[in-house]
Amino acid sequence: MSALLSSLNPLAVARGDDVPDAVRIDGHTLSRSDLLGAATAVAARVARAERVAVLATPTASTIVAVVGALLAGVTVVPVPPDSGPAERAHILNDSGAQAWLGAAPESDDAVPQLPVIAVRLHARDWHALPEPDPARIAFVLYTSGTTGAPKGVLLSRRAIAAGIDALAEAWDWTSRDILVHGLPLFHVHGLILGVLGPLRVGSRLIHTGKPTPQAYAEARGTLYFGVPTVWSRVVEDEASARALRGARLLVSGSAPLPVPVFERLRELTGLTPIERYGMSETMLTLSTRADGERRPGWVGTPVRGVETRLRDEHGADMPHDGESIGVLQVRGPMLFDGYLNRPDATAESRTDDGWFVTGDVAVIDPGGFHRIVGRESTDLIKSGGFRVGAGEIETVLLGHPAVREVAVVGVPDDDLGQRIVAFVVPRPGGPEVDEEELVNLVAQQLSVHKRPREVRVVQDLPRNAMGKVQKKLLLG
Ligand code: MLC
Ligand code: AMP
């Protein structure tokens, strides 16, 4: 295999093999040569930077920016387009991004002002660029922890290449596929698997803007990606679900796929969904296979190069008997290099013998099949497939004069998996609690997808003898 293919050449095809509709997104159709020419032109402009921010709107410009930076070996910091000033300022300050590559968000005093390097969709440059070192960091992806501000996950080119190649093998994903999804372009799911995946494998990509059932039905792809909320909505729209019958694989991940949705999807589409499991820190480590068993409620076996084990709270090995529950630890070539500027958190995330501690609780059966039971901490919430830390929302709400105390939890929700609910104790003598105002505060300061869907006013929060809030009691 050439050096280009063995690390991360997201375009991964010979120049002669042009594909006229390699990428369709936001009304644009880009051929492979369009993309290569425009991205190489970006690479020439960005080459002197170390790290750049990309406002990750679902557009052709975002894809050209990302590919251009990758060709140049420059690290990309994707910034959620709906992020508010507090979250954006944190991402820009912490990452040390030197410029916006492509559009900058509207200016805001709270956010560092950076120069803008333009991305021109119609520019073309055909210089062949040397392949950057596979150890270079391709992305800093910001992801929530249980407390504090989001941490920057460092993903190397080598890890991404290994991660994509392992999935291509598990899913029999080839250049004959047409991948369809409408996921955001600032996460592992939508950006790394959903954009770099097809570019590396050589399949076509149709990005639908939003992941609506109708858009999925109209796209007529062979391979579909969605978070469980997307699949729940698809099965509610029978006509759209039936239109997916011609596809090859429907893949679900980023959160647990409810068994009734799995079953209904199978009934309506004739296809048994593939479930896979991953994290920003690990890319995808477990999946059911195109040629293997697909069991509702289970996420399959380790993909190529991955090993897993279960540990109890004292660090002892748990048996793989399909019943014993332990914390899942993983290792493999697609794991991250660490958290940016957080040696403490990086060290804590791994065991002394080098395994990554996922924080997910799982069982493994004797055949190596994995079931994710839940998360160890109630403070990490998955809502619509987005990972949200209770702590970051609590910090914002505590800044409001009406709030004396607050506890944020993820309450089970048929559509979103978990719905973010804020339990608020009003400040005596303060202004009255206005639910909409608190929801908007989070939507505006952090990001729209982190907003509570509900605010409940309570007189006090349940606490244990040590004074710690007992969030489990708020879930009932
Ligand atoms: C509502 N809106 C507001 C608002 N309330 N805007 C401002 N302020 C408020 N208070 C607007 C939004 O801007 C949006 O507008 C519209 O309302 C709906 O927003 P929403 O309610 O957030 O959308 P919803 O339909 O609930 O989203 C569902 C979803 C989304 C499935 C589309 O949750 C989603 O895209 N999830 C994917 C998450 C994902 O990719 N995770 C991968 C993590 S990687 P408008 O105009 O924009 O519609 C990972 C690794 C792995 O986990 O394993 O994959
Ligand atoms: P993120 O960092 O956004 O990638 O979120 C990672 C988390 O999503 C994991 O730690 C799991 O809790 C959850 N997750 C991802 N895929 C699945 C899945 N198939 N089933 C259950 N949980 C999942």
Q: Which atom of ligand 2 is nearest to the CA of 153?
A: 2
Q: Which of the pair, 18 or 376, is modelled with greater confidence?
A: 376
The span from the CA of 10 to the CA of 165, in Å, is 11
Task: Tell me if 385 CB under 6 Å of ligand 1.
Answer: yes
Q: Whose CA is nearest to atom 24 of ligand 1?
A: 384
pLDDT at 14: 43
Task: Tell me if 278 CB under 6 Å of ligand 1.
Answer: yes
Q: How would DSSP label each residue in 363-401?
A: EE-TTS-EEEEEES-TTEEEETTEEEEHHHHHHHHHTST
Homologous superfamily of 23-195? ANL, N-terminal domain (3.40.50.12780)
The span from the CA of 84 to the CA of 450, in Å, is 11
pLDDT tens string 180-233 = 999 999 999 999 999 999 999 989 999 999 999 999 999 999 999 999 999 999
Structure tokens at 69: 């930076």
Beta bridge partners of 364: 370
Q: Look at residue 16 and tell me whether its pLDDT is greater than 80.
A: no
pLDDT at 147: 84
The span from the CA of 406 to the CA of 452, in Å, is 12
Degrees to nearest 5, angle at CA 224 with 223 and 230: 170
Long-range (24+ apart) CB contacts under 8 A made by 375-380 are 376/327, 377/146, 378/409, 378/410, 378/471, 378/472, 378/475, 379/146, 379/147, 379/471, 380/144, 380/145, 380/146
Q: Which of the pair, 432 or 106, is modelled with greater confidence?
A: 432
| Confidence grade of residue 377 (pLDDT, cut at 50, 70, 90) | very high
- Rounded distance from Cα 233 to ligand 1 centre (Å): 13
pLDDT at 111: 78
pLDDT tens string 108-139 = 766 778 999 999 999 999 988 898 999 999 99
Q: Look at residue 1 and tell me whether its pLDDT is greater than 50.
A: no
The answer to whether the CB of 287 falls within 8 A of the CB of 270 is no
Q: How far is CA 92 from its chain centroid?
A: 19
The residue among 369, 211, 382 whose CA lies nearest residue 297 is 369
pLDDT at 355: 97
From the candidate CATH numbers 3.30.300.30, 3.40.50.11930, 1.10.15.40, 3.40.50.1820, the one assigned to the domain spanning 384-474: 3.30.300.30
Phi, psi dihedral angles at 195 (to 5 degrees): -120, -55
Task: Tell me if 258 CB under 6 Å of ligand 1.
Answer: no
Question: What is the rounded end-to-end Cα distance, in angstroms, of the chain?
Answer: 55
Q: Whose CA is nearest to atom 8 of ligand 2?
A: 254
Mean pLDDT within 370-375: 97
Residue ranges covered by each domain of the chain = 23-195, 384-474
DSSP state, 463?
Answer: B
pLDDT tens string 276-309 = 999 999 999 999 999 999 999 999 999 999 999 9
Task: Tell me if 328 CB under 6 Å of ligand 2.
Answer: no
Are domains 23-195 and 384-474 of this chain identical in fold? no
Mean pLDDT within 367-372: 98
Task: Tell me if 439 CB under 6 Å of ligand 1.
Answer: yes
Q: Which atom of ligand 1 is nearest to the CA of 187?
A: 44
Q: Record the pTM.
A: 0.96
Measured from the alpha carbon of residue 191, the closest ligand is 1
Q: Which atom of ligand 2 is nearest to the CA of 358?
A: 10
Q: Whose CA is nearest to atom 4 of ligand 2?
A: 279
Q: To which residue do tokens 């820190």 refer? A: 281
Task: Tell me if 417 CB under 6 Å of ligand 2.
Answer: no
pLDDT tens string 133-148 = 999 999 999 999 888 8
